[in-house]
Amino acid sequence: MALAPPQSDQISLRAQGRVARRQAFSRLSRYILLLATLAGIGVLAVLAVDTMVRGLPVLDWQFITSYPSRNAVDAGLRSSLLGTVWVMGTTIILAIPVAIGTAVFLEEFAPKGRFTSVVRLNIANLAGVPSIIYGILGLTVFVRGVELQGVTLFPALGTTILAGSLTLALMILPMTVIASVEAIRQVPPSIRDGSLALGATRLQTVRHHTLPGALPGIMTGTILAISRAAGETAALIMIGAFAFIAFDNKSVNEDFTTVAIQIYNWTTRPQEAFRANASAGIIVLMVMVIGLNLVAVLIRERFRRK
Amino acid sequence: MASEPTTAPMGHDAALLQKQMQHSTFKRPGELAVVALLWLCGTISLITTVLIVTTLFGETIDFFREVSPAEFFLETRWQALIPGTESFGIWELVAGTANVVLWSMVFALPLGLAAAIYLSEYAHPRTRSILKPILEVLAGVPTVVYAFFALTVVTEYVLRPIFGADRVPIFNSLSASLMMAVMILPTIASVSEDAMANVPRELREGAYGLGATRLEVAIKVVLPAALSGVIAAVLLAIARVIGETMIVALAAGSTPTLTLMPLEGIQTMTGYMLQVGLGDAARGTINYTSLFAVASTLFVFTFALNVIATWIVNRFREAYE
């Protein structure tokens, strides 16, 4: 190649031979890699279309407001939607204060030492524990109660909304703490130091400066954790929550079902009509989950600009 | 409060300062109580861990009173729910889990790495800021939804047309593995991409300067430099596959089988646990305690994977300065 005499005035800068092959391969790789990136998104799109086609014909007001039923046509989401709202609400009330408290404790009050590093490591490990293990924990501790030599350490709650919410609260606690810790770390130390220098107590500093500054990050992490709890099925089935519920929940001491459990229930039925119900249930659940995710992303984007 | 630098005697000043500090640590009534509450919050996670370990291992000890550890660890047949013919060899359930891990990784690993390389090395920042959140939606989809699709769409409209209806049973490990791969794709892509983004520019520019193409820089420079993060991502993804329940419970079947073949009905550890949970086994029976023996095994596996992943990230983090 190089030995060929240069064609007077046409000196080409194009690579030839091996170099050209390498460059062509590299240019081609862009499209192959893009294709691989889009593969997962493509699957998501196909599944979304499939769900719409099957589910939308079933999804109407009657479906939303009916109790479950043996007949696919009469069955609806009423009790499972109410159950989901009850469980989510109770989980939020139980988990969020503890999560924020833990994060504030770790970042602002915990003594630097072995105890604190053990707590940190422990939370990181808890985040990796499978949800079904939390289900077993809920079953043995919250549903059946703990008794040691005749002394009740924890009362047996039965398969109630409270037991389910306690289980889910423990499950989302590590994620929420990790997100809150990250958010608190993003607050500039100068704000904290300034407040302390002006004579505020550490607790006043946390309440008036650190927490407000960290709030968007805490909310983003919390909402994502809640959306995970909304779709959780295995942990709730493990504590025994797959009863037939045909009443409106009025308190946290009642049996319950959720949309995710109802989808599971309908999927296990062999009849095609129940599959359509499951698809309609999936639409409702995905609207909730994607809605929560969108809110989280919006909060993050809105406060990042500032 | 803040007095100007004074000429007052040192002793007086120090005493005042001390008094102020005592005062200002818990100035208002109730602050001490709030701080005590914060301490309590800090210990709740520890209590959770203690509860998990004691409940799991407590009942597992009861299980081993009836079933010898030799049977559990050395036998290969798992047949628990049929009275009279019980056999508790864990390996069929471990094989079921390994089967799903293997086949989900076959699909998720190349796709996840390709996505990470594309997002980190090829994509325009604006493209990345659009693609990455969409990809992460995949991780937020409830797993019962994936389970539904594995059973109704993947098996019926993908696997059966390809392999033939007579060769693909309704419940098979491949349908579960495929959906599992979609589920963990963002975990692999996102965590690997973070690791690749942390590789310093100088390494890339050095390679470009020596005439490497974009693909060569990505594969031969960035990927090796980010390897610890990539391995950690894969281990975290495997831990999620091992712990995932709904997809395998609905789509992979409930017949423990000692096989790694993709087109067979299998049962994973989580699948067995959910089956017992649905069956409402009475407390104290062998089925009830076997649930805890399997759960302990699962817990040990996922815990080990998480610890190793954390260790790799900390130990092999390349510090460039």
Of B41, B220, B96, B170, nearest to A105 by C-alpha is B41
B11 found inside a domain: no
A101 found inside a domain: yes
The whole-angstrom distance between A142's CA and the closest CA on chain B is 11
Please, what is the angle between helix B286-316 and helix A114-126, to 10°? Answer: 120
Residue B318 pLDDT:
61
Integer angstrom CA distances of residue B57 from A140, B101, B108, B306 = 12, 25, 33, 19
Give the whole-angstrom CA distance, residue A128 versus residue B303: 7
Estimate to the nearest angstrom the gap between the alpha carbon of B191 and the chain centroid.
12
> For residue B243, which residues of chain A lie inside 8 Å, CB to CB?
129-133
Please tell me the number of Cα atoms within 13 Å of B283 on its side-chain side.
7
| Predicted confidence (pLDDT) per residue in A4-42, tens digit | 555 556 677 777 888 889 999 899 999 999 999 999 889
Q: Do A260 and B144 touch (CB under 8 A)?
A: yes
Give the whole-angstrom CA distance, residue A213 versus residue A221: 14
Give the whole-angstrom CA distance, residue B230 versus residue B226: 6
Pick the residue from chain B with its C-alpha nearest to A284. B145
Give the whole-angstrom CA distance, residue B122 versus residue B297: 42
B134 found inside a domain: yes
Give the whole-angstrom CA distance, residue A285 versus residue A278: 10
What is the domain extent for residue A165?
83-257
DSSP 3-state of A177? helix
DSSP single-letter state for residue B252: T
Burial per residue of A103-123, b for 16 or more beta-carbon CB atoms within 10 angstroms, e otherwise: bbbbbbbbeeeeeeeebbebb
Pick the residue from chain B with its C-alpha nearest to A46. B153
At residue B117, does pLDDT exceed 50?
A: yes
B3 found inside a domain: no
Residue B7 pLDDT:
44
Residue B98 confidence class, pLDDT cut points 50, 70, 90? very high
Residue B319 confidence class, pLDDT cut points 50, 70, 90? low
The whole-angstrom distance between B5's CA and the closest CA on chain A is 16
Estimate to the nearest angstrom the gap between the alpha carbon of A120 and the chain centroid.
21
Give the whole-angstrom CA distance, residue B217 versus residue B74: 48
B235 found inside a domain: yes
A292 found inside a domain: no
| Predicted confidence (pLDDT) per residue in A257-306, tens digit | 999 999 999 999 888 889 999 999 999 999 999 999 888 888 887 876 55
A73 found inside a domain: no
| Predicted confidence (pLDDT) per residue in A88-139, tens digit | 999 999 999 999 999 999 998 888 888 888 999 999 999 999 999 999 999 9
What is the domain extent for residue B171?
92-282+301-316
* Helix (H) or strand (E) segment spanning residue B148: helix B143-149
Of A180, A157, A164, nearest to A97 by C-alpha is A180
Residue predicted with more confidence, B174 or B19: B174
Residue B79 pLDDT:
84
Q: Do B24 and A199 touch (CB under 8 A)?
A: yes
Question: Average model confidence (pLDDT) for chain A?
Answer: 89
Residue B26 pLDDT:
53
At residue B5, does pLDDT exceed 50?
A: no
> How many domains does chain B contain in total?
1
- What CATH number did the domain enclosing A193 receive? 1.10.3720.10
| Predicted confidence (pLDDT) per residue in B139-181, tens digit | 889 999 999 999 999 998 889 999 988 888 999 999 999 999 9
Pick the residue from chain B with its C-alpha nearest to A103. B42
Specify the length of chain B in residues.
321
Percentage of chain A with pLDDT > 90? 53
Question: Average model confidence (pLDDT) for chain B?
Answer: 86
Which two tokens mark A88? Answer: 């989510």
B57 found inside a domain: no
Q: Do B214 and A230 touch (CB under 8 A)?
A: no
Of the ranges B72-76, B185-189, B280-284, the best mean pLDDT one: B185-189
CB-based contacts of B17: which residues, under 8 Å, 6+ apart?
A: none
Residue A272 pLDDT:
85
- A130 with A171: CB under 8 angstroms? no
Residue B206 pLDDT:
94
Please tell me the number of Cα atoms within 13 Å of B9 on its side-chain side.
3
> How many domains does chain A contain in total?
1
At residue B87, does pLDDT exceed 60?
A: yes
Give the whole-angstrom CA distance, residue A242 versus residue A80: 10
At residue A85, does pLDDT exceed 60?
A: yes
Residue with tokens 């009942």: B59
Please, where are the H alpha helices in B157-257? 160-163, 173-197, 201-209, 214-216, 223-225, 227-243, 246-251
Residue A8 pLDDT:
53
Which two tokens mark B39? Answer: 């301490």
Q: If contacts are CB pairs under 8 Å, which of residues 55-84 in chain A contact chain B?
A: none
The whole-angstrom distance between A176's CA and the closest CA on chain B is 12
- A134 with A237: CB under 8 angstroms? no
A232 found inside a domain: yes
Give the whole-angstrom CA distance, residue A28 versus residue A44: 25
Pick the residue from chain A with its C-alpha nearest to B41. A102
Pick the residue from chain B with its C-alpha nearest to A270. B152
- What CATH number did the domain enclosing B153 receive? 1.10.3720.10
Of A99, A254, A61, nearest to A178 by C-alpha is A99
Residue B19 confidence class, pLDDT cut points 50, 70, 90? low
CB proximity A131 to B under 8 Å: yes
Residue A14 pLDDT:
79
Q: Nearest by CB to B35, which of A29, A109, A224?
A: A109
Residue B132 pLDDT:
87
The whole-angstrom distance between A23's CA and the closest CA on chain B is 6
Residue B15 pLDDT:
62
DSSP single-letter state for residue A105: I
Mean pLDDT along residues A61-71: 86
Interface predicted TM-score (ipTM) over 0.85: yes
Give the whole-angstrom CA distance, residue A183 versus residue A196: 20
At residue B1, does pLDDT exceed 50?
A: no
Residue A170 pLDDT:
96
Residue B281 pLDDT:
74
DSSP single-letter state for residue A7: B
Residue A247 pLDDT:
86
Of A287, A292, A152, A279, nearest to A229 by C-alpha is A292
Residue A229 pLDDT:
93
At residue B283, does pLDDT exceed 50?
A: yes
Q: If contacts are CB pairs under 8 Å, which of residues 217-256 in chain A contact chain B?
A: 224, 227-228, 230-234, 237-238, 240, 242
A252 found inside a domain: yes
A58 found inside a domain: no
Q: Do A133 and B243 touch (CB under 8 A)?
A: yes
At residue B83, does pLDDT exceed 80?
A: no
